[in-house]
Chains A and B, each alone.
Chain A
Amino acid sequence: MIHFHGVGKAYPTGIVALQGVTVRIDPGEFVFLVGPTGSGKSTFLKLIQRIERPTAGRVVVDGVDVGALPAAQIPFLRRRLGAVFQDFKLLPDRTVADNVAFALRVTGVDPLEIGPRVLWALETVGLADRADDLPVRLSGGEQQRVGIARAIATRPRVVLADEPTGNLDPEAAWEIMHLLSAINLRGTTMVVTTHNPMLVDILRRRVIELHAGRVVRDESRGLYQTAR
Chain B
Amino acid sequence: MSPGVSTRPRADRATETRVLLPRRWTSGTRVVLADALGGLRRNALMVAAATTTITIALAVAGAGFLVSANLGHVAAILEGQVEIVGFLRGNLPAVQQQRVLAAVQGLPAVRSAEIVTRDEALRRLQRTFQAMASVNELLPSNPLPDSIEVRVTDARRVREVAEVLQRIEGVDEVVYGAPIVARLMALTRAVRIAGMVLAGLLAAAALLIIVNTIRLTIAARRQEIEIMTLVGATPGFVRGPFVVEGALQGAAAAVLAGGALCAGYLVLAGHASSALPFLPLVAPGAVLPQALALVWALGIAVGVGGSAIGLRRHLLS
Contact = CB atoms under 8 A, between A and B. Distances in A.
Contacts of B19: 115
Given A115-B22, A116-B20, A97 B7 contact: yes
B227 to A, nearest CB: 6
Given A114-B21, A119-B20, A154-B231, 18 more contacts: A49-B230, A75-B235, A76-B232, A78-B229, A93-B42, A95-B4, A97-B7, A102-B227, A106-B238, A107-B233, A111-B26, A115-B17, A115-B18, A119-B17, A132-B5, A132-B6, A150-B231, A154-B232
Interface in B1-23: 1-2, 4-7, 9-10, 16-22
Contacts of A116: 17, 20
A78 B5 contact: no
Interface in A85-140: 89, 91, 93-95, 97-98, 101-103, 105-108, 111-112, 114-116, 118-119, 122, 128-129, 131-132
B21 A106 contact: no
Given A97-B6, A115-B5, A132-B6, A105 B230 contact: no
B228 interface: yes
Contacts of A83: 230-231
Contact of B10 (A51, A89, A128): A128
A106 B17 contact: no
Contacts of B5: 95, 97-98, 101, 115, 118, 131-132
Contacts of B233: 75, 106-107
Contacts, number: 107
A103 B227 CA distance: 8
19 contacts: A75-B235, A76-B232, A78-B230, A78-B231, A89-B226, A89-B230, A95-B5, A106-B238, A111-B26, A114-B25, A115-B17, A115-B19, A115-B21, A116-B20, A128-B10, A129-B9, A131-B6, A131-B7, A132-B7
A102 B225 CA distance: 11
A214 interface: no
Nearest to A116: B17
Nearest to B7: A131
B91 interface: no
B234 interface: yes
A40 to B, nearest CB: 20
Nearest to A76: B232
A25 interface: no
Scoring A77, A105, A132 by chain B CB atoms within 10 A of each residue's CB, the highest score goes to A105
A227 B308 CA distance: 54
A150 B229 CA distance: 14
B224 interface: yes
A75 B223 contact: no
Given A97-B6, A106-B238, A115-B5, A77 B21 contact: no
Interface string B251-281: 0000000000000000000000000000000
B27 interface: yes
A93 B233 CA distance: 20
B7 A106 contact: no
B31 interface: yes
Given A115-B20, A118-B20, A129 B7 contact: yes
A111 B21 CA distance: 8
A5 interface: no
A94 B2 contact: yes
B231 A98 contact: no
A79 B4 contact: no
Nearest to A110: B27
A114 B19 CA distance: 12
B42 A98 contact: no
A111 B27 contact: yes
B67 to A, nearest CB: 43
A105 B2 contact: no
Contacts of B230: 49, 51, 78, 83, 89
Nearest to B6: A132
Interface in B102-127: none
Given A106-B238, A118-B5, A101 B232 contact: no
Interface in B204-234: 223-224, 226-234
Contact of A97 (B4, B27, B223, B228): B4
Nearest to B223: A89
A94 B4 contact: yes
Contacts of A111: 21-22, 25-27, 31
Contact of B2 (A77, A95, A112, A115): A95
A148 to B, nearest CB: 13
- Enumerate the 5 nearest inter-chain pairs by beta-carbon distance, A residue then B residue, closest first: A97-B5, A115-B20, A79-B232, A78-B232, A106-B233
